[in-house]
Structures are given as structure tokens and as C-alpha cells.
Structure 1
């Protein structure tokens, strides 16, 4: 594994505590039954939202009168093994690095055999709904993110 965001693969993969199960749908595959290379990004999104819900960050973001929202600033995926129709996957999520108004979120997908089939990372920035500019994490938000690490 040569992803620049992973320095020690064993340590990195052992640090995940949150995961979400998905099953590869027929519509997510190509004519050879392989998972389309765009689909992991949708899996990352679903798992990231569930992760944020679990740690308590989504409440204020989902509030229509809330001042801030999350925006994905960048996202990447590294493919390690073929994935096929009807495979069951677990999509893991963790906050790797907490910045002033952003977090570097890491992802890992494992198949039923426990093999890592793809990994990823992306920056999520908290911005003001009205300004579109980065809004620093509150101490409470930072604590939620720290405790989830």
C-alpha cells in the first residue's frame, strides 16, 4: 500500500472504531460485475454522515436555522482489490487530523474475508451558511472529534 496519507498501514488500519455495512448493488457494477470506480465515493459519503451523526456533529448542521454546514473540500480513493456485485463490505471512517475549521477524514473498506479492498481520505471543512468561509470548531466540537479518534 503506497497511499501518501498512510505511514504505517497496520497502525493506521487498527485505529478505526466506526463502520457501516453496505452491499454492492447490481446498479453499482459495470458489465463485468465489478464495482464502478465512482461508487466508493458514495459509500464514503454515507459512512461519513453516519459517523458524524454518531459522534454528534450532524445535529447542528442539519438544523435549518443552524449557522454552519460541512463541505467536502477534496476526496480520494485508492483501489486495492476487485469488488463485485452482491459483496458485503464494511466502510470504516475516522477523523485522522483536526484542523482549525477542517478535518482530514480517512476511510477503509473491508470485504467479508476481512481484506481491505479500498482506502481513502478527504478534507471536510465547516463553513458558514451565509459567508461560505471556514468557521473554526468550537471547543465542544473539537472534543467530540478528539473523543471519536
Structure 2
């Protein structure tokens, strides 16, 4: 299996994922050869990231009108390891790999039904102030929620 530069111990990294979103590859997401189009994993990453952030209570807070902050995606990368085809069932795993002052590195893994990994990815999200557009520090509670995948009591 090819190795992505941001993964040191692939087996350990793979075992650390808990949250996933099931997806089925639609015909419209494939190219003329029946392969998953190379832009589609980014859509899967977005959908799984949003659901992950909902599961720990972040999206509910950010979408409130009184919220002073919003998340933005600062960068996003995908590494393809195996071909994925129309009608395959995938699990798109997502986790916070590390958390900075106002940013977090989010990692992704697209796993097939047979357990093989089709693609992996990473990206940075930044919590910014709606007013200034600049980074807004995470609270200690937010940092813990990102790393421990616990739900906020809302």
C-alpha cells in the first residue's frame, strides 16, 4: 500500500478512527471507466467532517445566529490507494489528528466493505471570528471534544 507522508505508523493511525459515515458510490460520481471521479472524495470528506462536527456538538453552536465564530477549511488533500467503483459501499472515517490554537488537522479514510482502504486524506480547519475573519482560539473544552470525540451537552 502506498504511504501518505502525513501518516507515520499506518496500522496505528487506522486503528485510532472511531467515527464514520457510510456512503454508496453513485453512478454520477464515476468516470467513463466506472472509477470514482478524483474530485468525489472531497465531497465525502466534507459530508463526513460536518457529521463528525455535529456529533460532538460543534455545528449546532456555529450555526446559531449569536455564534461569534465559524469554521473554514484552510487546506485539503487526498491520496488514492486503490480504485473505487460504482455501487461500492464505503465507510468514510474522520478524526481530529491534532489541535492547535485555532486550527485542527482532520484526517480521513475511505474504507471498502472488504476492509481495504481506497483513499486517505488530511486537511486543516480553522475556527475564525465572524467579525474579524481571523483565527479564534479553541476553548479547552473544544480541544478536548475534538481529540476525545465526546458530545457536547446542548
TM-score (normalizing by structure 1): 0.97
Match of 1:49 in 2: 50
Counterpart residue number, 1:63: 64
The aligned runs of 1:1-149 (5 Å cut-off) are 1-148=2-149
Per-residue displacement from partner, 1:10-67 (whole Å, max 9, x unpaired)?
0000000000000001111111111000000000000000000111111111112211
Gaps (5+ residues) in structure 1?
Answer: none
Q: Distance in 2 between matches of 1:26 and 1:47?
A: 20
Moved over 3 A (4+): none
Q: Is the 8 A contact 2:89 2:112 kept in 1?
A: yes
TM-superposition CA deviations, 1:119-148 (whole Å, max 9, x none): 000000000111110000012211211322
Counting matched residue pairs gives: 149
Q: Partners of 1:146 and 1:28 in 2: how far apart? A: 32
How far apart, in 2, do the equivalents of 1:53 and 1:102 lie?
Answer: 17
Q: Which runs of 5+ in 2 are unaligned?
A: none
How far, CA to CA, are the matches of 1:147 and 1:110 in structure 2?
Answer: 22
Render the CA deviation track for 1:80-122: whole Å, top value 9, x for unaligned: 0000111100000000000000000000011111100000000
- Relative to the length of structure 2, the TM-score reads 0.94
